[in-house]
Amino acid sequence: MNIGLMITKDDDDIFQLIFEENCKYFDNIYVLDGSCDISTKDFLSKHPKVVYCIHESELWSKGIPPIDNGIRQPLLDIIYQQESINSWVTLLHGDELLVDDPNKVTELADKNYYNLVEWNIYNFFWHSSQLGKNTFNIHSPIWKQQTFYFLPPFRKIRQFKLLPNLSWKYPNNTLEYPYNPSIVCTTFRPETKIKHYPFGGQLDKVRGKFKQAVEGKRLRQIAFSWASTSTTSEDFYLENIPSIPGLIPEDAKILNTNKSPILPIL
């Protein structure tokens, strides 16, 4: 069994596309939705792969604070009630596309006695080389619109084996994956890939959504990708930064110092 444990929040513009691509890999999917819009939960409530879906506001009423990954714990409790020990659980997000088959990955992990799997996550963004070209279709999938990504990827534990008494409550609610101090963690690190779309596609541009004051880190990365004029950050200069609320010169200097390459689609 491969089980999906998903968190999504306000990914409604790309959520259904991402979900339909990812769901084929899983037997059952459990979802925590934090969206302001009801469209995501309406979609999930009718999907045959979704066996449980709850909105985060329902957890607040039970006294569970929205603290990082720890808010997944109620879903894990339900999984323990309904799924078999030794199943694999994959941590999913509403803006991330699995490039590799997680079932093939867990087969290899089982053969080599691993109980955790780490994935490479690539951030995909707009790139200014695409501007002014009549190559976009707002009805095409997000991955056909955003074709550039940042290096290096960041690595995260995105799969864990459902062993007894795992919990996000130890020692706090900020763990990437649930933990049991009596179980030895063994991590498989294959070159598996996830495409992360922290910002939407052409439809977002049409709506003017990229000008909204989203959280600082995301906003800085968006500005960086729009300002860059080649496939590396060598041509990123302070004076090229678009006028987006929340971007400050200090952020731009940091980005320029990092020299993170921007490459075409994987």
**Segment 70-119, tens digit of pLDDT:** 678 889 999 999 999 999 999 999 999 999 999 999 999 999 999 999 99
Kindly state whether residues 142 and 182 are assigned to the same domain: yes
End-to-end CA distance of the chain: 29
Q: Which amino acid is at 215?
A: E
Kindly state whether residues 226 and 183 are assigned to the same domain: no
Instruction: Give the C-alpha separation, 100 to 70, whole Å.
Output: 26
- Domain enclosing residue 54, as ranges: 2-196
110 burial level (CB within 10 Å; 0-12, 13-18, 19+): middle
Kindly state whether residues 131 and 51 are assigned to the same domain: yes
Q: How many domains are there within the chain?
A: 2
CATH code for the domain of 182? 3.90.550.10
Whole-model pTM over 0.85: no
Please state the three-class secondary structure of 8-37 as a single string: ECCCCCCHHHHHHHHHHHCCEEEEEECCCC
Higher pLDDT, 9 or 59: 9
Kindly state whether residues 168 and 231 are assigned to the same domain: no
Assign 14 a pLDDT band (cuts: 50, 70, 90). confident
Pairing of strands 154-161, 116-125: antiparallel
Kindly state whether residues 156 and 218 are assigned to the same domain: no
Is there a contact between 204 and 226 (Cβ–Cβ < 8 Å)?
A: no
Which residue among 176, 196, 216 closes a domain?
A: 196
Most confident among 160-164, 193-197, 219-223, 257-261 (mean pLDDT): 160-164
Which residue among 174, 196, 218 closes a domain?
A: 196
Kindly state whether residues 55 and 160 are assigned to the same domain: yes
Kindly state whether residues 36 and 142 are assigned to the same domain: yes
Q: Is the pLDDT of residue 15 over 70?
A: yes
Which residue among 196, 229, 250 closes a domain?
A: 196
**Segment 116-173, tens digit of pLDDT:** 999 999 888 766 555 555 555 667 788 887 777 777 788 999 999 999 999 887 655 5
Q: Is the pLDDT of residue 232 over 50?
A: no
Kindly state whether residues 87 and 146 are assigned to the same domain: yes
pLDDT value, residue 112: 96
Kindly state whether residues 108 and 222 are assigned to the same domain: no
Kindly state whether residues 174 and 216 are assigned to the same domain: no
Pairing of strands 96-98, 193-196: antiparallel
pLDDT value, residue 134: 58
| Token pair of 258 as six digits | 């990092």
Kindly state whether residues 178 and 229 are assigned to the same domain: no
**Segment 23-61, tens digit of pLDDT:** 999 999 999 998 887 888 889 989 999 999 988 888 776
Assign 63 a pLDDT band (cuts: 50, 70, 90). low
Kindly state whether residues 134 and 225 are assigned to the same domain: no
